[in-house]
Structure 1
Amino acid sequence: MPMSTSRGRLEPGSTVETRSLTSVLGERVAVPDPERLVHLQFRRFAGCPVCNLHLRSVVRRHGEIEAAGVREVVVFHSPAEELAPHTADLPFAVVADPAKRLYAEFGVERSPRALLSPRVWGPIAWAVLSGAWQVARGRERLPS
C-alpha cells in the first residue's frame, strides 16, 4: 500500500502515518488502529445540520459498523468545549480540530462550489427542517 506523508489528497488504499489523537472525552484514538479499519470522517462545525443528520444515521447503524470490524472516528473543526456536551451519548470517538491541522494534512478542503451544486440543496433543506423539527419536539438539543 502506498504511504502518504505529504499534504494533499490520499489515494485509495493509502496508509497514513501512525498517530494518536485525543477525543473530546479524553480517549486516545490510534489512527490507523492496528486491530481494525478506521473510518475517519471530517465534518464541518458542530451545528452543521447536514452533519448532524448524517451522524444520527451512523449512530443508528453503529452496531453494524462495529460488527464489520470498523472503528468510527469523527473530526470536527469546532473546539472541544463546544463539542463535549453533544458527544457524551455518541458511540464513537469525536475529535476536535479547531485549527484544521488534520483537515490540511488529509487534504480536506472547503469549496464554495460544493454548496452551489443543485444535488446538495435537497439534503441541506431536509437536514435543516428535520433538525428543527427534532428540536421543537424536544428530541434534540440546539447545537453549540
Structure 2
Amino acid sequence: MPLTSDADIRALLEDARTIALVGASNRPERDSHEVMGVLLDWGYRVIPVNPNLAGKTIHGVRVVADIAGIEERIDIVDIFRRSEEVPAIVNDAIAAGARAIWMQLGVINAPAAAHAEAAGLKVVMNRCPKIDLPRLHVARLK
C-alpha cells in the first residue's frame, strides 16, 4: 500500500538526497519544471530524465535519456508521466536500485505501485513534493 501517512512521507523526504525526475521539461510553464526548481532549492540533487532533451540542461542540470543513464544511487524516482507509462518506469527504477517511487498528482497506477512495493520500493501516489515539503515542515538539506 502506498505511503499515505504524513510521518512516512516526511521520513522519505528527509532521508532522500537524489531524485530522478522522469518527464522533466525545459518549459517554465510546466509543473515538472517548477517542481524541479523547488526540489533543487530544497537542496536535493535532481537528475532530469527526458529522452527528447538528453544532453541539454534544465535548471543548470544535464538531462539524461533514461533512468539507466544515472550512475549514482537514486533515492526517489519522481514521475511526471501518464499513469499508463508508470509500469515501465517502475521496472527501470527497480533495475536501477531506486529506493522509492513518487507518482505526481493525477498519476495513479495501483498495479505498478504493488509491483514496486513487492520489489522493496516505497511508493507515494497522487501527491506532490512541492506541496508536501513545506506542509510537513521538512528541513531544507542546504
Taking structure 2 as the reference length, the TM-score comes to 0.33
